[in-house]
Amino acid sequence: MINDLSRGLCPAMDIKCLVIDEAHRALGNHAYCQVVTELCKYTRQFRILALSATPGSDKQAVQQVISNLLISHIEHWSEDSPEIQPYSHQRLVEKCVVPLGEELSEMRAAYLRVLESFADRLVRFRVLPQRDISTLTKYQIIVARDQFRKNPASCFSGKQQGIIEGDFALCISLYHGYELLLQMGMRSLYIFLSGTMAGSKGTTRAKNELSRNEEFMALYGILGNMFAETSETSARGNMSTEKTPSQTSPGIPYTVLGFAIQEGY
Protein backbone atom coordinates (compact mmCIF):
# COMPACT_ATOMS: atom_id res chain seq x y z
CA MET A 1 0.00 0.00 0.00
CA ILE A 2 2.84 2.43 0.77
CA ASN A 3 4.24 1.85 -2.71
CA ASP A 4 0.86 2.43 -4.34
CA LEU A 5 0.32 5.61 -2.32
CA SER A 6 3.73 7.04 -3.14
CA ARG A 7 3.24 6.29 -6.86
CA GLY A 8 -0.25 7.75 -6.92
CA LEU A 9 -1.87 4.42 -7.79
CA CYS A 10 -3.96 4.28 -4.63
CA PRO A 11 -6.74 6.92 -4.45
CA ALA A 12 -5.72 8.41 -1.10
CA MET A 13 -8.47 11.02 -1.13
CA ASP A 14 -11.11 8.26 -1.31
CA ILE A 15 -9.88 6.39 1.78
CA LYS A 16 -12.20 7.02 4.72
CA CYS A 17 -11.21 4.20 7.08
CA LEU A 18 -7.88 2.44 7.51
CA VAL A 19 -8.06 -0.81 9.51
CA ILE A 20 -4.75 -2.01 10.96
CA ASP A 21 -4.52 -5.50 12.41
CA GLU A 22 -1.56 -6.57 14.59
CA ALA A 23 -1.15 -2.88 15.43
CA HIS A 24 1.72 -3.57 17.86
CA ARG A 25 3.99 -3.84 14.80
CA ALA A 26 3.69 -0.09 14.19
CA LEU A 27 7.16 0.68 15.55
CA GLY A 28 10.06 2.56 14.02
CA ASN A 29 9.88 2.64 10.23
CA HIS A 30 7.38 -0.18 9.80
CA ALA A 31 5.14 0.03 6.73
CA TYR A 32 2.11 0.70 8.97
CA CYS A 33 3.74 3.95 10.11
CA GLN A 34 4.68 4.91 6.56
CA VAL A 35 1.13 4.36 5.26
CA VAL A 36 -0.34 6.67 7.91
CA THR A 37 2.31 9.33 7.22
CA GLU A 38 1.76 9.11 3.46
CA LEU A 39 -2.03 9.32 3.77
CA CYS A 40 -1.70 12.47 5.86
CA LYS A 41 0.06 14.16 2.93
CA TYR A 42 -3.19 13.97 0.94
CA THR A 43 -6.02 14.11 3.46
CA ARG A 44 -6.95 14.18 7.14
CA GLN A 45 -10.54 13.15 6.52
CA PHE A 46 -10.19 9.51 7.47
CA ARG A 47 -10.31 7.33 10.57
CA ILE A 48 -8.01 4.61 11.82
CA LEU A 49 -9.15 1.43 13.54
CA ALA A 50 -6.09 -0.30 15.02
CA LEU A 51 -6.42 -3.72 16.66
CA SER A 52 -4.00 -5.78 18.71
CA ALA A 53 -4.26 -8.66 21.16
CA THR A 54 -0.67 -8.00 22.33
CA PRO A 55 -0.27 -4.20 22.36
CA GLY A 56 3.13 -4.18 24.07
CA SER A 57 5.17 -5.40 26.99
CA ASP A 58 5.35 -1.99 28.71
CA LYS A 59 3.89 1.52 28.59
CA GLN A 60 6.64 2.81 26.31
CA ALA A 61 5.89 0.20 23.67
CA VAL A 62 2.17 0.98 23.76
CA GLN A 63 2.86 4.72 23.66
CA GLN A 64 4.97 4.38 20.52
CA VAL A 65 2.13 2.54 18.77
CA ILE A 66 -0.29 5.26 19.90
CA SER A 67 2.00 8.01 18.58
CA ASN A 68 2.84 6.32 15.28
CA LEU A 69 -0.80 5.55 14.46
CA LEU A 70 -2.08 8.92 15.74
CA ILE A 71 -4.37 7.25 18.28
CA SER A 72 -6.74 9.52 20.21
CA HIS A 73 -9.08 6.96 21.82
CA ILE A 74 -8.39 3.55 23.33
CA GLU A 75 -10.75 0.70 24.15
CA HIS A 76 -9.19 -1.89 26.42
CA TRP A 77 -10.91 -5.24 26.69
CA SER A 78 -9.75 -8.03 29.01
CA GLU A 79 -11.14 -11.52 29.61
CA ASP A 80 -13.37 -10.01 32.30
CA SER A 81 -15.02 -7.56 29.90
CA PRO A 82 -18.70 -8.26 29.11
CA GLU A 83 -17.91 -8.25 25.37
CA ILE A 84 -15.28 -10.95 25.84
CA GLN A 85 -16.81 -13.20 28.50
CA PRO A 86 -19.10 -15.16 26.14
CA TYR A 87 -15.98 -16.30 24.28
CA SER A 88 -13.80 -16.98 27.34
CA HIS A 89 -13.28 -20.47 28.67
CA GLN A 90 -11.44 -22.00 31.58
CA ARG A 91 -8.02 -23.19 30.52
CA LEU A 92 -5.00 -24.83 32.04
CA VAL A 93 -1.72 -23.39 30.80
CA GLU A 94 1.41 -25.47 31.10
CA LYS A 95 4.61 -23.68 30.15
CA CYS A 96 7.17 -25.87 28.40
CA VAL A 97 10.59 -24.30 27.88
CA VAL A 98 12.34 -25.91 24.92
CA PRO A 99 16.15 -25.71 25.15
CA LEU A 100 18.01 -24.39 22.12
CA GLY A 101 20.22 -27.43 21.76
CA GLU A 102 24.02 -27.49 21.54
CA GLU A 103 24.35 -26.40 17.90
CA LEU A 104 21.90 -23.52 18.20
CA SER A 105 23.41 -22.43 21.53
CA GLU A 106 26.86 -22.20 19.93
CA MET A 107 25.42 -20.18 17.04
CA ARG A 108 23.65 -17.87 19.51
CA ALA A 109 26.89 -17.28 21.42
CA ALA A 110 28.78 -16.48 18.21
CA TYR A 111 26.05 -14.13 17.01
CA LEU A 112 26.01 -12.32 20.36
CA ARG A 113 29.73 -11.63 19.99
CA VAL A 114 29.00 -9.98 16.63
CA LEU A 115 26.19 -7.93 18.18
CA GLU A 116 28.46 -6.84 21.01
CA SER A 117 31.14 -5.61 18.61
CA PHE A 118 28.66 -3.35 16.81
CA ALA A 119 26.74 -2.16 19.89
CA ASP A 120 29.97 -1.31 21.73
CA ARG A 121 30.46 2.04 19.97
CA LEU A 122 26.93 3.14 20.80
CA VAL A 123 27.54 2.21 24.43
CA ARG A 124 30.84 4.12 24.46
CA PHE A 125 29.09 7.16 22.99
CA ARG A 126 26.51 6.76 25.79
CA VAL A 127 23.58 6.75 23.41
CA LEU A 128 22.75 3.11 24.21
CA PRO A 129 22.34 1.85 27.82
CA GLN A 130 25.14 -0.43 28.93
CA ARG A 131 23.63 -3.79 29.74
CA ASP A 132 23.87 -7.45 28.90
CA ILE A 133 23.72 -7.56 25.09
CA SER A 134 21.60 -10.72 25.18
CA THR A 135 18.82 -8.91 27.08
CA LEU A 136 18.58 -5.99 24.67
CA THR A 137 15.65 -5.92 22.26
CA LYS A 138 15.15 -4.33 18.89
CA TYR A 139 12.50 -2.07 20.39
CA GLN A 140 14.88 -0.77 23.07
CA ILE A 141 17.40 0.15 20.39
CA ILE A 142 14.71 1.94 18.39
CA VAL A 143 13.72 3.93 21.50
CA ALA A 144 17.37 4.82 22.18
CA ARG A 145 17.75 5.99 18.56
CA ASP A 146 14.62 8.13 18.80
CA GLN A 147 15.90 9.73 22.00
CA PHE A 148 19.25 10.45 20.32
CA ARG A 149 17.48 12.08 17.37
CA LYS A 150 15.41 14.30 19.65
CA ASN A 151 18.30 15.35 21.90
CA PRO A 152 21.67 14.78 20.22
CA ALA A 153 24.58 15.81 22.44
CA SER A 154 26.26 19.02 21.30
CA CYS A 155 29.67 17.30 21.48
CA PHE A 156 28.85 15.19 18.42
CA SER A 157 29.83 16.61 15.05
CA GLY A 158 27.71 16.08 11.98
CA LYS A 159 30.00 13.27 10.88
CA GLN A 160 29.77 11.56 14.28
CA GLN A 161 25.97 11.82 14.25
CA GLY A 162 25.97 10.11 10.86
CA ILE A 163 28.16 7.31 12.21
CA ILE A 164 25.86 6.87 15.22
CA GLU A 165 22.78 6.76 12.98
CA GLY A 166 24.47 4.10 10.86
CA ASP A 167 25.39 2.06 13.94
CA PHE A 168 21.80 2.25 15.19
CA ALA A 169 20.45 1.06 11.83
CA LEU A 170 22.93 -1.81 11.73
CA CYS A 171 22.18 -2.90 15.31
CA ILE A 172 18.42 -2.83 14.70
CA SER A 173 18.94 -5.03 11.64
CA LEU A 174 21.24 -7.42 13.51
CA TYR A 175 18.82 -7.72 16.41
CA HIS A 176 16.07 -8.59 13.96
CA GLY A 177 18.34 -11.41 12.81
CA TYR A 178 18.82 -12.43 16.45
CA GLU A 179 15.05 -12.72 16.88
CA LEU A 180 14.86 -14.87 13.74
CA LEU A 181 17.62 -17.12 15.07
CA LEU A 182 15.88 -17.76 18.41
CA GLN A 183 12.32 -17.95 17.10
CA MET A 184 12.68 -19.57 13.67
CA GLY A 185 16.14 -21.13 13.51
CA MET A 186 19.41 -20.85 11.63
CA ARG A 187 18.01 -21.20 8.12
CA SER A 188 15.80 -18.11 8.57
CA LEU A 189 18.80 -16.20 9.93
CA TYR A 190 20.88 -17.23 6.93
CA ILE A 191 18.23 -16.12 4.44
CA PHE A 192 17.94 -12.77 6.22
CA LEU A 193 21.72 -12.22 6.32
CA SER A 194 22.00 -13.28 2.67
CA GLY A 195 19.59 -10.49 1.77
CA THR A 196 21.70 -8.00 3.73
CA MET A 197 24.96 -9.11 2.13
CA ALA A 198 23.36 -9.08 -1.32
CA GLY A 199 22.24 -5.48 -0.78
CA SER A 200 18.53 -6.28 -0.87
CA LYS A 201 18.17 -5.58 2.86
CA GLY A 202 19.83 -2.66 4.57
CA THR A 203 22.43 -0.37 3.02
CA THR A 204 25.84 -0.57 1.38
CA ARG A 205 27.33 0.71 4.65
CA ALA A 206 25.83 -2.23 6.55
CA LYS A 207 27.25 -4.69 4.03
CA ASN A 208 30.70 -3.08 4.20
CA GLU A 209 30.71 -2.97 8.00
CA LEU A 210 29.72 -6.62 8.24
CA SER A 211 32.27 -7.65 5.62
CA ARG A 212 35.06 -6.13 7.71
CA ASN A 213 34.00 -8.04 10.83
CA GLU A 214 35.93 -11.31 11.00
CA GLU A 215 33.60 -12.96 13.50
CA PHE A 216 30.56 -12.14 11.38
CA MET A 217 32.16 -13.45 8.19
CA ALA A 218 33.16 -16.67 9.96
CA LEU A 219 29.60 -17.11 11.25
CA TYR A 220 28.14 -16.26 7.84
CA GLY A 221 30.46 -18.80 6.21
CA ILE A 222 29.32 -21.54 8.61
CA LEU A 223 25.68 -20.77 7.84
CA GLY A 224 26.45 -20.76 4.13
CA ASN A 225 28.00 -24.23 4.34
CA MET A 226 25.05 -25.53 6.33
CA PHE A 227 22.42 -24.17 3.94
CA ALA A 228 24.23 -24.28 0.61
CA GLU A 229 21.05 -25.54 -1.02
CA THR A 230 19.24 -22.32 -0.04
CA SER A 231 19.07 -20.56 -3.39
CA GLU A 232 19.22 -16.87 -4.18
CA THR A 233 15.55 -17.11 -5.00
CA SER A 234 14.81 -17.88 -1.36
CA ALA A 235 16.73 -14.81 -0.28
CA ARG A 236 15.00 -12.67 -2.85
CA GLY A 237 11.64 -14.02 -1.75
CA ASN A 238 12.20 -12.32 1.60
CA MET A 239 13.23 -9.00 0.09
CA SER A 240 11.40 -5.93 1.30
CA THR A 241 10.96 -2.82 -0.80
CA GLU A 242 12.86 0.28 0.13
CA LYS A 243 10.95 2.34 2.65
CA THR A 244 10.74 6.07 2.98
CA PRO A 245 11.54 7.59 6.38
CA SER A 246 8.71 7.81 8.86
CA GLN A 247 7.64 11.29 9.88
CA THR A 248 5.73 12.59 12.84
CA SER A 249 2.33 14.05 12.07
CA PRO A 250 -0.25 15.77 14.26
CA GLY A 251 -3.06 13.64 15.61
CA ILE A 252 -6.22 12.73 13.74
CA PRO A 253 -9.49 12.99 15.65
CA TYR A 254 -11.78 10.02 16.18
CA THR A 255 -9.00 7.46 15.93
CA VAL A 256 -9.72 4.24 17.80
CA LEU A 257 -7.31 1.63 19.09
CA GLY A 258 -9.02 -1.54 20.27
CA PHE A 259 -7.08 -3.93 22.47
CA ALA A 260 -8.49 -7.44 22.89
CA ILE A 261 -6.31 -8.85 25.66
CA GLN A 262 -7.25 -12.50 25.50
CA GLU A 263 -5.23 -15.51 24.45
CA GLY A 264 -6.68 -17.13 21.41
CA TYR A 265 -9.36 -14.50 20.96
- pLDDT tens-digit profile of 245-261? 334 334 433 334 444 33
233, pLDDT greater than 70: no
Q: CATH number for the 2-92+249-260 domain, one of 3.40.50.150, 3.40.50.300, 3.30.479.10, 3.30.1490.20? A: 3.40.50.300
pLDDT one-digit tens code per residue, 40-67: 999 888 999 999 988 887 888 889 999 9
Domain locations in the chain as residue ranges: 2-92+249-260, 102-237
For residue 264, the model assigns a pLDDT of 37
Q: What is the CATH number of domain 102-237?
A: 1.20.1320.20
Convert 74-86 to b/e letters by CB count within 10 Å (16 or more is b).
Answer: eeebeeeeeeeee
2-92+249-260 matches 102-237 in fold = no
* CA–CA dist 20, 48 (Å, integer): 7
CA distances to 28, 141, 147, 233, 248 from 144, rounded to whole Å, are: 11, 5, 5, 35, 17
243, pLDDT greater than 50: no
* Average confidence (pLDDT) over 135-148: 84
Q: Mean pLDDT, the chain, as a whole number?
A: 80
The residues with which 52 forms a beta bridge, in sequence order, are 259
Reported pTM: 0.54
Confidence of residue 229 (pLDDT cuts 50, 70, 90): low
* CA–CA dist 53, 212 (Å, integer): 42
pLDDT one-digit tens code per residue, 85-131: 888 888 888 999 888 888 899 999 999 999 888 888 888 878 887 66
For residue 187, the model assigns a pLDDT of 92
Considering only 113-122, 150-159, 229-238, which range has the smallest mean pLDDT?
229-238
